[in-house]
Amino acid sequence: MADTPLKNTDYNSPHFPTWCPGCGNFGIWTGLKNAFAELGWKPSDVLVVYGIGCSGNMSSFVKAYGFHGLHGRALPVAIGAKLANKDLHVVVIGGDGDGYGEGGNHFLHALRGNVDITYIVHDNQVYGLTKGQMAPTTEVGEVTSSTPEGVIDQPIDPVALAIAAGGSFVAQAFSGDTPQLTQLIIEAIKHPGFSHLNVLQPCVTFNHHNTFAWFYRRVYKLESVNHDFSNKAEAFARALEWGEKIPTGILYREIRPTWEAKEKELAGLPLVQRPLDTINISQTLQSLT
């Protein structure tokens, strides 16, 4: 923790973002830095693991420890880092294609496992970095560079999927509302367990349907309707809302033991701080012969 108050700009790298002007990623970048500053984390206190895509380019724009993983493989890297050093703050940044497409299997089982990391997904409903192909979240009928006659696949609902798969913290934000986004990132990070935050993030270059104006007419805050995020059935019903009204805020939250807390071998010192000369694997080797 920092001895003096930190500012958003303390997490600026020497490189200014190269995203398209007006990209929704700018709001997430700002919200993430705001959250780190409010939490009092120094840049050296946190590891951010990035997937591949426009979201992953943020690895060059945030001053913190960072790891740029393979496409769809950010979560296993982040989980490995957290299990090796349970005292480390670990945040994962990915996109809807990266996380729900290539990384969909990792996503499902990370929700079940409940390792104490935070997963922030930039959901722009296309593969933006590779020129606007159809993504797992693209709506039916949308014309993209890979579906010139329109999408015929049913899109997934990330937050409904996360609740159904056993997520202990599931929330949704809109990158056009930075104050709410900042607070949701803070809440997600503070949650003891795997926290999933889906951020609706317009792609101004390749998605001309789900624009900022389109979202501004539809998003509403769950606290405005006294949503009970401890009620899974109510949370799932809200998660299914799309089209004329789209919820933002905490959809579902429950407190249950983390994977680290249940694994007795992780009790005590973090693995990275333990001396190697005390490890004896001879019994394990003998059992394999």
Q: Which one-letter amino acid corresponds to residue 67?
A: F
Q: What percent of the chain has pLDDT over 70?
A: 99
Burial zone of 23 (CB within 10 Å; 0-12 exposed, 13-18 middle, 19+ buried): buried
For 4-23, what is the mean pLDDT?
94
Q: What percent of the chain has pLDDT over 90?
A: 85
Separation CA 151–CA 169 (nearest Å): 31
In a domain, 205, yes or no: yes
Res 147: pLDDT: 92
For 266-280, what is the mean pLDDT?
84
CATH code of 138's domain: 3.40.50.970
C-alpha distance from residue 129 to each of 49, 164, 180 (Å): 18, 30, 26
In a domain, 252, yes or no: yes
Under the banding of pLDDT at 50, 70 and 90, the label for residue 269 is: confident
For 141-148, what is the mean pLDDT?
91
For 218-246, what is the mean pLDDT?
97
Res 69: pLDDT: 85
In a domain, 3, yes or no: no
In a domain, 26, yes or no: yes
CB 255 within 8 A of CB 168: yes
- Total number of domains constituting the chain: 1
State phi, psi for 192 to the nearest 5 degrees: -80, 85
Average pLDDT, the chain: 94
Beta strands at 195-200 and 118-123: parallel, antiparallel or unpaired: parallel
In a domain, 220, yes or no: yes
Res 126: pLDDT: 94
Res 280: pLDDT: 82
* Structure tokens that stand for 146 in this block: 């890979």
Beta bridge partners of 199: 122, 173
Q: pLDDT at residue 276 above 90?
A: no
Res 50: pLDDT: 97
Range of the domain at 206: 8-287
Q: Is the dihedral of CA 55, 199, 119, 2 positive or negative?
A: positive
Separation CA 109–CA 105 (nearest Å): 7
DSSP 8-state code for residue 131 = T
In a domain, 1, yes or no: no
* Structure tokens that stand for 1 in this block: 């923790």
Q: pLDDT at residue 25 above 90?
A: yes
For 251-268, what is the mean pLDDT?
93
CB 122 within 8 A of CB 57: no
Under the banding of pLDDT at 50, 70 and 90, the label for residue 281 is: confident
CA atoms within 13 A on the CB side of 187: 20
H and E: helices and strands count for the chain:
10, 10
Separation CA 28–CA 173 (nearest Å): 10
Residue 46, number of CB atoms within 10 A of its CB: 20
Report which of 184, 44, 196 is spatially closest to residue 114, judged by C-alpha positions: 196
Q: Which of 43-47, 137-141, 273-277 has the lowest mean pLDDT?
A: 273-277
In a domain, 144, yes or no: yes
For 102-123, what is the mean pLDDT?
96
Res 1: pLDDT: 62
Cα-trace Rg, the chain:
19
Q: Which residue has the tokens 């120094």?
A: 42
Q: pLDDT at residue 278 above 80?
A: no
Separation CA 2–CA 37 (nearest Å): 9
Q: pLDDT at residue 177 above 90?
A: yes
Q: pLDDT at residue 104 above 70?
A: yes
In a domain, 157, yes or no: yes
For 232-238, what is the mean pLDDT?
97
For 224-230, what is the mean pLDDT?
97
Res 2: pLDDT: 62
Residue 194, number of CB atoms within 10 A of its CB: 29
* Structure tokens that stand for 38 in this block: 């409010």
